[in-house]
Chain A
Amino acid sequence: MQNSNFSSMEKVNFRTRILTNHLNQETPSPHFSLQTTPCLSYNPPELSEPSSIFDKKQMRQLMDGHNLTEKDWLFGLMLQSNLFNPMKSGGKVFVQPDYNQSKEQQREITMRRIGYLLEHGVFKKWLTGNGPVDELRKLALLECLAIFDHSLAIKTGVHFFLWGGAIQFFGTKRHHDKWLKATEEYVVKGCFAMTELGHGSNVRGIETVTTYDSSTGEFVITTPCESAQKYWIGGAANHATHTVVFSQLIIEGKNQGVHAFICQIRDENGDICPNIRIADCGHKIGLNGVDNGRIWFDNVRVPRENLLNSVADVSPDGKYLTAIKDPDQRFAAFLAPLTSGRVTIAVSAIYSAKVGLATAIRYSLTRRAFSVTPNGPEILLLDYPSHQRRLLPLLAKTYAMSFAVNYLKKIYVNRTPEMNKVIHVVSSAFKAIASWHNMRTLQECREACGGQGLKTENRVGPLKGEFDVQSTFEGDNNVLMQQVSKALFGEYVAAKRSKKPIKGLGLEHMNASRPIVPSQLTSHTMRQAQFQNDIFCLRERDLLERFAAEVALCQAQGKSKEYAFTLNYQLAEDLGRAYSDRAVLHTFLEAEASVTSASLKNVLDLVRSMYTLVTLEEDAAFLRYGYLSTDNAAMVRKEVANLCGELRPHALSLVSSFGLPDAFLGPIAFNWVEANAWSSEQN
């Protein structure tokens, strides 16, 4: 007894001595403190987070969809070459472009990277292949290139999808034989001269003029005025040897509309050909690895065979020949194949959002700020409900749009001529919403990383500049969304006129009776797929009816249909959104139906509910047109907050299922303490 008292007394004395030492300690030398008493240590989220309730490999398979081994092979190919700028940080290797290089250096290294990929067989069958299998492989590999660097993907995409695609789709056998293999092997480097200074989305208005000289059997291509100069032509400023020129074709004084011609612009030494003038588009806010240029044609002569003649031809004696008499239809047939660009944009936008989210969410699982109790430990960023609300809905939307773009790829590679309209509408809608979603996500992620988001090496910040262009190229997003609404209008009016049920574009729900939204929403109801589908369908059908009624009213007042569309832009915008959101939800439900694992299904249920409810919360149309009462809107908002808490434990597993190798994220996603340590600075 005595003994034990004594010993506990001794313990107290001992502790007091230690504490006094602590308090009286002189400021330690910086060397000492950095070596032995780190203030904060990095805890890998893999160790601190609950282990995944679902199989991440299975989830990745569902999300990536196809060609996973090919993708991993290409990631590895990039990792193992110094051309991809590997750098060591915090004990890990990262690959990413060096944005500190001048635009000229970035263009050269991009071309050299393409050379490396070519040499290793990455582009095999990109143009000489055939069918959905080869096409999916091509899309999968392009996705990986975009994850490394958007410039690399765009430079490759222009060559294969635009130049190569134009030859494939607008050309005939003689063009295929001559150009496709040569393009696949980069014997020629192609570009795509459609946009002009004065005309972008409105391709039919371009001003370049081509005439035919029957005495020599040549076409003569001319840039008649400054606004007709070709603009933003990727590849034109430095590397391309050939281009497809889009031009008005004038035959015997009659304008036959826009046609495409092959024209050489550089010789084998890389010197610009006679009668061609080329200038640079200059430094850009992103994509500086792509050499965008401007081209002027000064009566450039090309052989008659260079007309890409799948739709129309000119005979040697100068007669215009075509199977499609209606110039509108001819033009539509012409542009339909360009869908591939919108498909690849939509897909790569979602991968870019994944890079942002994987980075910001991993960081938020390791970075702490402020305590909620005096002297309590600081709180992990993602344990703040507000931080969850910023990132987790975007994560859910990214999941939803992943399924949407997978669906888009699927219908694209299995396309038939009858599906052209559907593919046009779906690709326009998904391209617009995916690229907008990416920009918004990147901005949120950049802010969620705080100052670290500013650092180029952490990737999120630069991606904003790199991917911004997606909202306007291959069709301005706003214009595309208007086209979606117009197409829906067309289907609706046609069905009304023929008194047949609506078929196609997923509008079949309009044939059934109007869905009824419960006047008092409960948590249980809101999480049901049935309710989620009903309210999205209700919004779409109501907006389509309103839009059709407004347009009809304008027409009754004597205004043209086109003018009526223009005046009703607000409804058109809301309708485009409504269609897109509903279409995305349908692809989500379809993907979920293919899942057999219960644990995967459970987490996907949560993600889908989050996607739907946050859309209800954010889109003012639900309140504006009364699909949600104010009481119900309040319930929805509350449920979003609940879902944030429920998704929080899955956050790490959900971003780990993205299939992004560590090396393609930035150091901030991993051990950022070590990456920024003084000792790392010394090596």
Chain B
Amino acid sequence: MRTTMAQTSSNNGGINQVLVEGTGNVRTFILNRSKQLNALSFQMGRGRAFCAGGDLSLVFSHQSNWKIGANYFQKQYTLNYVMATYSKPQVSILNGIVMGGGAGVSIHGRFRVATEKSVFAMPETALGLFPDVGASYYLSRLPGFFGEYAGLTGSRLDGAEMLACGLATHFVSSDKLPPLEQALVKVNTSDPDAISAIISHFSHIPKLKDESPYHKMKIINRCFSRRTIEEIISTLESEALDTKGDWISSTIQSLKKSSPISLKISLRSIREGRLQDVGNCLVHEYRMVCHVLRAEFSKDLFEGCRAILVDKDKNPKWEPSRLELISDDDVDRYFSKIDDENWEDLKLPPRSNLPPYAIAKL
């Protein structure tokens, strides 16, 4: 994973979790926790992943004290906000897995370079969480209702699909990455037009694979535009009756396997996010994640972590177990303030003179 920006470095037991190289105006950051697929930690890549997301095992091990988890997310979301509103152009080279938190530290940046090795996904609904790190902002701004599709099903997208839907701004084959990086370091500028020209020089438009969901935009729009998860599933089911292929049935399957409460709050989050700026998206996501961690209504995040990350039995027992058991009021509660004297809403660092592209990039 590489991302080119401003300077920090963190250290964990003698091993640098983020490597920083710098010449002139250019800073190169390398996420360096390859064993954990560059999962984001407090300290923080290298290896086969750009970044496979936030390290939820940290959260899992602190179940009894939700504030430790909340503190982690608060820092992560603040970082997302700073990146989203950063005036210098960030170039993220997404040569591998980009999931969850990994998307959060790249998609908000100005330039996102996909390769044939890129794999993007927001798989949170299968974990009992919801697409966060500002996903309610960038997913909701994808064409049509593709964002609802990607965010609810956790469907994996390749580099070509990322470019087609706008998650990536460029596609460069991985063998051209070294010269691209050299060229970026050499030009030594923060002028977005100049940077764009350089990346464009190495990039091309790849062909979408035949079975890509991006070819299914009509069905996606028809189904994922529905007001509720129940309606989305029932529209998919009636669509399945007169459409061949297993794409629809696997889509339905992945929805049915996901945590019901996760699906409902994720849909609401994307819908609210569509009408909000990136700061307010992160503020509402922070409220949501605190409710998820407090686990008053549902403990699905911990059950998801147990089943997928810890015990690896891949058989989570969601509670509530069915969509019908969750009312609109239950969903509303995830968007309210936490009833706790010491808790406060996410405080975003003041950013003077926001550049317009920092407000809407996709």
Contact = CB atoms under 8 A, between A and B. Distances in A.
Given A73-B227, A91-B356, A119-B222, A80 B145 contact: yes
B179 interface: no
B27 interface: no
B291 interface: no
A75 B225 CA distance: 11
Contact of A674 (B144, B226, B227, B356): B356
Contacts of A661: 274-275
Interface in A649-679: 661-663, 671, 674
A69 B359 contact: no
B356 A76 contact: no
B112 interface: no
Interface string B345-362: 000001111111101100
A72 B360 contact: no
B140 interface: yes
A76 B275 contact: yes
Nearest to B331: A69
Contacts of A671: 356, 359
A47 B352 contact: yes
B271 A120 contact: no
B233 to A, nearest CB: 14
Determine which residue in B140, B271, B356, B360 has the highest number of CB atoms from chain A within 10 A of its CB, and name it.
B356
Interface in B245-293: 268, 271-272, 274-275, 277
Contacts of B21: none
A70 interface: yes
B359 A92 contact: yes
A273 to B, nearest CB: 34
Nearest to B146: A80
Given A76-B140, A80-B145, A120 B359 contact: no
Contacts of A121: 226-227, 231
Given A91-B359, A671-B356, A120 B275 contact: no
Given A92-B360, A119-B222, A674-B356, A81 B144 contact: yes
A41 B356 contact: no
B313 interface: no
Given A47-B350, A80-B225, A75 B356 contact: no
Nearest to B275: A661
Contact of A73 (B221, B222, B271, B356): B271
B328 interface: yes
A93 interface: yes
A41 B355 CA distance: 10
Contact of A79 (B231, B272, B274, B351): B274
Interface residues of A, number: 26
Given A76-B275, A91-B360, A70 B227 contact: yes
B213 to A, nearest CB: 16
Interface in A73-109: 73, 75-77, 79-81, 90-93
A519 to B, nearest CB: 48
A76 B354 contact: no
B353 A41 contact: yes
Contacts of B357: 91
Interface in B318-362: 328, 350-357, 359-360
A80 B144 contact: yes
A506 interface: no
Interface string B222-238: 10011100010000000
A600 to B, nearest CB: 14
A327 interface: no
Given A47-B350, A90-B356, A121-B231, A77 B225 contact: yes
Nearest to B227: A73
Contacts of B355: 91
A44 interface: yes
B275 A75 contact: yes
Given A76-B274, A81-B144, A120 B356 contact: no
Nearest to A122: B227
Contacts of A120: 222, 225-226
A69 B271 CA distance: 9
B328 A69 contact: yes
Contacts of A70: 227
B152 to A, nearest CB: 14
Given A44-B354, A91-B357, A662 B226 contact: no
A105 B143 CA distance: 25
Determine which residue in A76, A93, A661, A662 has the highest number of CB atoms from chain B within 10 A of its CB, and name it.
A76
Nearest to A680: B356
A72 B225 contact: no
Interface in A48-71: 69-70
Contacts of B226: 120-121
A72 B270 CA distance: 11
Contacts of B351: 47
A79 B359 CA distance: 17
A69 B268 contact: yes
Given A47-B350, A80-B145, A121-B231, A72 B271 contact: yes
A79 B360 CA distance: 14
A455 B140 CA distance: 29
A77 B145 CA distance: 9
A72 B272 contact: yes
Interface string B48-86: 000000000000000000000000000000000000000
A576 B271 CA distance: 43
B291 to A, nearest CB: 15
Contacts of A119: 222
A674 to B, nearest CB: 5
Contact of A76 (B271, B350, B359): B271
A79 B276 CA distance: 12
Nearest to B222: A119
B145 A662 contact: no
B34 to A, nearest CB: 37
B310 to A, nearest CB: 35
A119 B144 CA distance: 14
Contacts of A92: 356, 359-360
Interface in A115-146: 119-121
Contacts of A69: 227, 268, 271, 328
A79 B140 CA distance: 10
Contacts of B271: 69, 72-73, 76
A393 B225 CA distance: 40
A662 B144 contact: no
B232 to A, nearest CB: 11
A57 B145 CA distance: 25
Nearest to A120: B225
Determine which residue in B143, B272, B274 has the highest number of CB atoms from chain A within 10 A of its CB, and name it.
B274
Contacts of A663: 275
B359 to A, nearest CB: 5
Contacts of A674: 356
Contacts of A91: 355-357, 359-360
Determine which residue in A41, A77, A661, A671 has the highest number of CB atoms from chain B within 10 A of its CB, and name it.
A77
Nearest to A55: B337
A44 B225 CA distance: 32
Contacts of A79: 274-275
B262 to A, nearest CB: 17
13 contacts: A44-B354, A47-B351, A47-B352, A69-B268, A72-B274, A76-B140, A76-B274, A91-B355, A92-B359, A120-B222, A120-B226, A121-B231, A662-B275
Q: Nearest 6 pairs between A and B by C-beta?
A: A91-B356, A661-B275, A76-B274, A674-B356, A73-B227, A91-B360
Interface of B: 140, 143-145, 221-222, 225-227, 231, 268, 271-272, 274-275, 277, 328, 350-357, 359-360
Interface of A: 41, 43-44, 47, 69-70, 72-73, 75-77, 79-81, 90-93, 119-121, 661-663, 671, 674
Given A76-B271, A93-B360, A121-B227, 15 more contacts: A47-B351, A47-B352, A69-B328, A70-B227, A72-B272, A72-B274, A73-B271, A79-B275, A91-B357, A120-B225, A120-B226, A661-B275, A662-B275, A662-B277, A671-B359
